[in-house]
Structure 1
Amino acid sequence: MGEAVVALEAVRTGGCLCGAVRYEVRGEPYIAGLCHCKTCRKLIGSSFSATANWHQSQFSMSGTVETYERRQFCPKCGARLFFLFEGGAEVFLGTLDEAPNGIGPMLEVWTVRREHWLPPVQGAAQHDENPPKL
């Protein structure tokens, strides 16, 4: 008899700097990318943000978060973690426990604001502003 091959679903964990908030994402994200917009730059304190989106059924969390501008953060240490929206979660990839995490950008948005010293990500769709609805 042949043996059934069971594919293991990827499970990634993450959380805030102080450990008060933890989360888990299962499977692969349906989109991942870099954003160079003014809001993301201010929010992250860097030249761009790196995020990935999972469906609501793939995301779970523990701990208490606060919300500012629709994005969730730890009220103890202030770490920005994710953006919970109807049907899913957009996770800031820098909050995952493992690095590298194996998730590469599929698109870049607000490239009109990308720093001149930062080249486009090869193979990622490029959008001057927000892309059409995904």
Structure 2
Amino acid sequence: MQLHQGGCFCGAVRYVVTAEPFNSTLCHCTMCRRASGAPCVAWFSVPRAGLHFSAGSPAFYHSSPGARRGFCAACGTQLTFEDDRSPGELDVTTASLDDPELVPPDDHTFMQSHLRWLQLADSLPRYLRTRGEGAREVP
């Protein structure tokens, strides 16, 4: 298992990922777009015990019932997402890694909210909402 390190833009918050990333995706949901100011956000998941902050601590914003986003209070970089429906998991923004190339996305999620002017040229699976049981892939 390779350790992954990352942090915010200003360096006030740093973290180490000590678990194998899973569920790597490009999320197109409206909430991720609004929270990041970007057309989609690359995320990966780890067990909660698999992420350790090595410098500083994130601030948190409850973006919807049962969900909160961790970010640097100094520069605003979004770092994590937690959902009460997945209590053992923590999502980490892939682009906050020192080397985001090491955790490429496996798919696109929430394509129902995809911005039509964003042209996707990859061949990754695309899901209307989430992947998993009963997920509907978009052609």
Return the letter of the residue paired with 2:48. Q
Instruction: Report whether the alignment pairs 1:67 with 2:60.
Output: yes
* TM-score normalized with structure 1 length: 0.80
Q: How does 1:3-82 map to 2 (within 5 A)?
A: 9-62=1-54, 63-68=56-61, 69=63, 70-82=68-80
**Cα displacement (A) at 1:107:** 2.1
How far off is 1:115 after superposition? 3.3
The corresponding residue for 1:130 is 130
What are the superposed Cα offsets for residues 18-44 of structure 1, whole Å, 9 maximum, x if unpaired? 111110112431210011111111111
Query: What secondary structure is seen at the aligned counterpart in 1 of 2:6?
Result: strand
Q: Distance in 2 between matches of 1:84 and 1:22?
A: 18
Identical-residue share of aligned pairs (%) = 29
**Unpaired runs of at least 5, structure 2:** none
Instruction: Name the SS for the 2:102 alignment partner.
Output: coil
2:120 aligns with 119
Partners in 2 of 1:84 and 1:35 — Cα distance? Answer: 14
| Corresponding position of 2:91 | 90
TM-score calculated relative to the size of structure 2? 0.78
The number of equivalent residue pairs is 124
Gaps of 5+ in 1: 1-8
Residues 82-134 of structure 1: CA distance to partner in whole angstroms, max 9, x if unpaired? 124522321111111124x2222222111123234422631x33211233469
Q: Distance in 2 between matches of 1:42 and 1:84?
A: 16
